[in-house]
Chain A
Amino acid sequence: QSVLTQPPSVSGAPGQRVTISCTGSSSNIGAAYDVHWYQQLPGTAPRLLIYGDDNRPSGVPDRFSGSKSGTSASLAITGLQAEDEAHYYCQSFDSSLSGPVFGGGTKLTVL
């Protein structure tokens, strides 16, 4: 059972917009700790996609965006492309556990 809760799967057609939610609690997201998102393409290591709630590292397309409100955060992907098919993980810091925590991951399928 992951500390952060994500839907197991989402799907969308090419060109569409999808969102992936990440729900935490008062000891992590709700305590105003930043949320970060990682993309894991099949057979590869995760890569940082969004950091500090809504910032993109260089090289990440602006089709990817992040937001946060209360104890939840969301990753939005617009203009869905076939190469976006991957697992996506949210991550934050938890003051009760004194360490980083991850969501269980969401598999994005591009129809």
Chain B
Amino acid sequence: QVQLVESGGGLVRPGGSLRLSCVASGFSFSDFYMTWIRQAPGKGLEWVSYISSADGSKYYAESVKGRFTISRDNSKDSLHLQMDSLRVEDTAIYYCAKEGSTICSGGSCHPENFDSWGQGTLVTVSS
């Protein structure tokens, strides 16, 4: 069965950096868009970034653009999120999620929904 296991979370000072990882198993990793979604304490879900399966196209939410970098290593079935210039408002549980299906709009394609999620890794940004 599909399994996604995140790691790399922790406590970091504002302005600091962290690198999250997600190791996948149980499916053909290279065939699917992969996404990072976060949830601030007691809050709802927020899409952070995703990366395509085919050409490695990357998309970011405005709130993290220029500070976060998503990447994938299909040879190791792994997904990463490099988080720089962290802010207090980046404090959240970060989930790695696999696309359930793809939607194409305006000449580009995106994950339409998320059918498998990891257990999440907690990132706390505090002084």
Contact = CB atoms under 8 A, between A and B. Distances in A.
Chain B's interface size range is 20 to 34
A36 B47 contact: no
A15 interface: no
A103 interface: yes
B46 A45 contact: no
Interface of B: 35, 44-47, 50, 59, 61, 95, 100-101, 103, 105-106, 108, 110-120
B44 A104 contact: yes
Contact of A102 (B45, B108, B110): B45
A38 B100 CA distance: 13
Interface in A45-83: 45-48, 51-52, 57
Interface of B is mostly: strand
Contact of A93 (B61, B103, B116): B103
Interface in A74-109: 89, 91, 93, 95, 98-105
Contact of A57 (B112, B115, B117): B115
Interface of A: 2, 33-34, 36, 38, 44-48, 51-52, 57, 89, 91, 93, 95, 98-105
